[in-house]
Amino acid sequence: MKEDKKQVWGLIAPALFIMILIGVIPVLYIIYLSAFKYNVFAKVPMRYAGFDNFRKLVFDPDFLKSLRLGLTFVALCCGIELPLGLFIANLLTLNFKGKGIFRTILTLPLAMAPITIGSMWVLITNPDFGPVPFLFRKIGIEYNMGISANQAFFTTILVDLWHWTPFVVLTFMAGLSSLPNQPYEAALVDGATRWQTFRYVTIPLLKPVILTTLFIRIMDTFRVFDEVWMLTSGGPGTATRYVSIHLVRLVLQSMEYGYSSAMSLFLLYLTIIICFFLLTFISSSREAA
């Protein structure tokens, strides 16, 4: 028995070592830094601050605004991507001409790097020569992301939808193809309409997949960076300065290592809480199913 245990530890040791090295140690270091006022360009670069950085977070209007913007972004993206993805996935269960091509084109954005997508949309939405502002101008609407905060905000959402809805479609298609036939046959025998079958059979059966997809997308959208950075850099003003962008600016530009560590920890805590509730929900829905 002892030999077995030794063998097990020997086998997992390399992986464990790497995990500790690249996962645990940086987190511990961030916890350590969060207790300090630490700016590289300060006269005294590092001094102990206790919980001051966390206290500062609560009263920092810039952070609170970026957090609010970030959560709104998460809510809108997930709130649109999931129903839209489910709708498209359902459409793709039907047989129609050109389905294969449609499916291939649909998944293309997933193969592209977020930074490329950001650059591409910068050109598409460029107020001077981009096709989108040009077409809007034709119908009498002035579209200019450099001026309109709302347009910039919704454009970032649009880009995220364009990029990630195909992922949602793929997961739902996988989920739909694995559903059992019997409940559908029973619904057919009971004379259920298409909508009733979808509402009372498909949705409950697909619930674990929906929640898992939601779980992944919440985490992804909460830390969105590349596309928005390329597209607006957080502007105009602070209109798209989501919390991830705010954090990066604080670390790389302001070099506020202590305060940004506290902010990172808070965001990690927030993500863990959200994930905990979702996972609990997923587990309970699985048990119910």
Partner 1 sequence: MRRLVGILLVTLLVLATSWCLAAVNNPEWWQKAAEPYKGVVIRGISESTPPSKAMVEVAAPEFEKLTGIKVEFEVTSWDEMYNKSIQDLQSGAGIYDFIYVEQDIIYAYLAQNWLTSLNSFIDNPSITHPEFDLPDFTSFINYFKDANENIYGIPFEAFLKSYIYRTDLFNDPGIQAAFKAKYGYDLAVPTTWEQYTDIAKFFTEYGKEKGVELYGHIAQAKTHPCVAYEMVETIWPAWGVYNWGINLEKMRASVENGGTLNSEQAKKAFRWYVDMLQYAPPGVRTYTWDETGAVFGAGKIAQGIIYLENLGWIAGDPTRSAVIDKIAVALPPTAPGVMDEAKAGKGYIGYYDGGSLGIPHSAKNKEAAWLFIQWCMRKEWQGEFAKMATRVVRTSTFDDPLVKELDAKTGGYFTMLKDSGYLFAGAPALPMHRPLNEVYLKWISKAVAGEISPEDALDSLAKEVDQLMEDLGY
Nearest residue to 232 (alpha-carbon basis) of 218, 217, 249, 220:
249
Specify whether the CB–CB gap between 245 and 234 falls below 8 A: yes
Of 179, 205, 255, 275, the residue at the interface with partner 1 (CB under 8 A) is 255
Q: How far is the CB of 48 from partner 1 (least distance, A)?
A: 15
What whole-number distance in Å separates Cα of residue 241 and Cα of residue 243?
Answer: 6
Give how many residues touch partner 1 by CB under 8 A. 33
Distances (CA, A) of 7 to 1, 2, 10, 16, 232: 10, 9, 5, 14, 53
CA gap 249, 260 in Å, rounded: 9
Give the nearer residue to partner 1 in terms of CB position, either 104 or 253: 253
Stretch that binds partner 1, among 17-25, 112-120, 192-200, 254-262 (CB under 8 A): 254-262
The distance of closest approach from Cβ of residue 227 to partner 1 in the complex, given in angstroms and rounded to an integer, is 15
Residues facing residue 47 across a β-bridge: 37
Is residue 189 a contact residue for partner 1 (CB under 8 A)? Answer: no
| One-character DSSP codes across 130-174 | -HHHHHHHHTT----TTT-HHHHHHHHHHHHHHHHHHHHHHHHHH
Among the candidate windows 92-100, 186-194, 245-253, 272-280, which touches partner 1 by CB under 8 A?
A: 245-253
- The answer to whether residue 146 forms part of the interface with partner 1 (CB under 8 A) is yes
By the rule CB under 8 A, 237 interacts with partner 1: yes
Q: Is 26 a binder of partner 1 (CB under 8 A)?
A: no
Among residues 142 and 185, whose Cβ is nearest to partner 1? 142
Is residue 46 helix, strand or coil?
A: strand
Minimum distance between the CB of residue 267 and partner 1, rounded to whole angstroms?
Answer: 19
Could you list the beta-strand ranges (E) of 31-105.
36-38, 46-48
Query: Minimal distance in Å, beta carbon 84 to partner 1?
Result: 29
239: contact with partner 1 by CB under 8 A: yes
39, 116, 119, 197: which one binds partner 1 (CB under 8 A): 39
Using CB under 8 A as the binding rule, whether residue 254 contacts partner 1 is answered as yes
- Determine, following the binding rule CB under 8 A, whether residue 183 of this chain makes contact with partner 1: no
Q: Which residue has the tokens 């119910």?
A: 288
Three-state SS at 235: coil
> According to CB under 8 A, which one of 249, 262, 264, 266 is a site residue for partner 1?
249
256 binds partner 1 (CB under 8 A): yes
Distance between CA atoms of residues 61 and 67, nearest Å: 10
- 127 binds partner 1, rule: CB under 8 A: yes
